[in-house]
Amino acid sequence: MNNNNNSNDYVHWSSRWTFIMAATGSAVGLGNIWKFPYITGEYGGGAFVLVYLACILLIGVPVMIAEVLLGRAGRTDPIDSMLILAKESNRSPLWAIIGVFGVCAGLMILMFYSVVAGWALDYVIQSGMGRFIGADASTISDNFTQLTSNNNRQLISHSAFILLTGGVVAAGVTTGIGNGVRILMPLLLALLLVLVGYSMAAGDFFAGLHFMFDTDFDKLCPKPVDGTAASLFTCDAVLVAMGHAFFTLSLGMGAILAYGSYMPKNANIGKTVLTVAALDTLIALLAGLAIFPLVFAYGLEPGSGPGLLFVTLPIAFSQMPAGLLMGSLFFMLIVVAALSSSISLIEPGVAWLEKKGIKRIWGTTGLVGISWIGGCMSIRSADVFNFLDNTTAKFMLPLGGLFIAIFVGWFMSQSRIIEELEIQSPRIYQGWLWTLRIISPLGIIAVFANSLEWF
């Protein structure tokens, strides 16, 4: 990738399809396969899924369009893009704080993301060695507990994963990512479909289906014990669902903005974003459909937390034909999906440092080093892990998204937006603009206000 200041020379991806692949690579990751099923389990299923889908549609998609647009209009790293666009629209350079904040959020996410990706890496090896073949459910669940209480083992896999991330980012994002993702993402989708098929046959598919799609709002926000009425808005679940919509789409910290800056001029932003969001949602729902039927068939707890993926799927692999091969392949694909996401967590920071004259290799080394140290701390302490996960997903990303929505909706020059978006239908354009101006920001603020009990 070059760091030429002349925007005409800025490197582009060869086609809209490459952008879709790279953005999908960023979006689809542990968020879909690990986090979505386990938080859906913790928050009681269907109602949570419904709130999450509403957040994707009303907040995620409009903000994602705005973020891609900022990137393609600014044509550089998130911080400088914001500076350029704020200046162009005669606004304060302080808007660039969105970018700075995003770089920090990215590093903080990587500090726990890489630990979980390390678990998946560990599982590639365990499945490959046949550890799960014929094992019963309790052995498999003990196995996960052993992994998470063994710091050295986690340290090795976390370090390996973060080195992989650094390697790809140092090599330059535009070349490597597009090609890798083009082959591996479809393979992941195919394997996920096989697992859903297996769950249908061997698991309690209907129990899984009911759990994921019966919308019982009492389960989402359990009635307070003191007898006061349960409210949709005074429980954590809605905030978690909204935060996850940002997390899963890689929104609110400049990752999608950075990728948007490589998007060719002739690609239609709206259509592209809808494609990415649809693929991302599909993969999350399929992961749920693969996991929950097994949860119910084997008497496991849907709300058992971060271990859900690592306990349910090995049970499937322990029994299915070619389980050894399927298991190692599947966990390998999870690692790849995590890798194509984790690179987007440090790419904005590296691109910015590069623009400041710091060589890509050193920028990458520095940021990866910081994340590695943070990762070591989240291995040692579950509190650090949870703090990083909660602060980023529940607060930093939605806040970043809020400011992106406000900037593009209210402060950026309209003619510039129209020029970038090229939406043919004025009705669709107005629909998007007013959703971004009113519904998305108010939605974010309302969820914050009510979940934090500001009223």
Residues 412 to 441 in contact with ligand TRP, rule: CB under 6 A: none
Task: Please report how close the Cβ of residue 375 comes to ligand TRP at its closest, in angstroms.
Answer: 15
C-alpha span between 194 and 330 (Å, rounded): 10
Is residue 31 within the footprint of ligand TRP (CB under 6 A)?
A: yes
C-alpha span between 194 and 190 (Å, rounded): 6
Is the Cβ of residue 30 or residue 168 nearer to ligand TRP in the bound state? 30
Is residue 344 within the footprint of ligand TRP (CB under 6 A)?
A: yes
Residue located via tokens 């520095």: 366
Is residue 341 within the footprint of ligand TRP (CB under 6 A)?
A: yes
Q: Could you tell me how many residues of this chain bind ligand TRP (CB under 6 A)?
A: 16
User: Which of 120, 345, 417, 433 is close enough to bind ligand TRP by CB under 6 A?
Assistant: 345
Q: What percent of the chain is helix, strand and coil (3-state, nearest 5)?
A: 80, 0, 20
Residue located via tokens 């499945």: 127
- In sequence order, what are the residues at sequence separation of 6 or more whose Cβ sits closer than 8 angstroms to the Cβ of residue 73? 81, 85, 416, 420
Q: Token pair of 359, please? A: 């060589």
Which range touches ligand TRP (CB under 6 A), out of 26-34, 159-167, 224-232, 262-270?
26-34
Torsions phi, psi of 452, nearest 5? -90, 5
CB atoms within 10 A of CB 319: 15
Is residue 260 within the footprint of ligand TRP (CB under 6 A)?
A: no
User: Taking the mean position of all CA atoms in its chain, how far away is CA 354?
Assistant: 25
Which residue type sits at 153?
R
Which range touches ligand TRP (CB under 6 A), out of 16-24, 247-255, 311-319, 435-443?
247-255
Task: Please report how close the Cβ of residue 394 comes to ligand TRP at its closest, in angstroms.
Answer: 12
Is residue 32 within the footprint of ligand TRP (CB under 6 A)?
A: yes
Which range touches ligand TRP (CB under 6 A), out of 7-15, 186-194, 235-243, 250-258?
250-258
Question: Which sign does the torsion angle of CA 96, 374, 346, 48 carry?
Answer: negative
Which range touches ligand TRP (CB under 6 A), out of 45-53, 67-75, 225-233, 341-349?
341-349
Q: How far is CA 1 from CA 17, 37, 262, in A?
A: 19, 36, 10
Is residue 29 within the footprint of ligand TRP (CB under 6 A)?
A: yes
C-alpha span between 307 and 141 (Å, rounded): 8
User: Which of 141, 154, 248, 435 is close enough to bind ligand TRP by CB under 6 A?
Assistant: 248
Is residue 255 within the footprint of ligand TRP (CB under 6 A)?
A: yes
Binding pattern for the stretch 185-224 against ligand TRP, x by CB under 6 A and - elsewhere: ----------------------------------------
Q: Where along the sequence are the contacts to ligand TRP (CB under 6 A)?
A: 26-27, 29-32, 109, 247-248, 250, 253, 255, 341, 344-345, 397
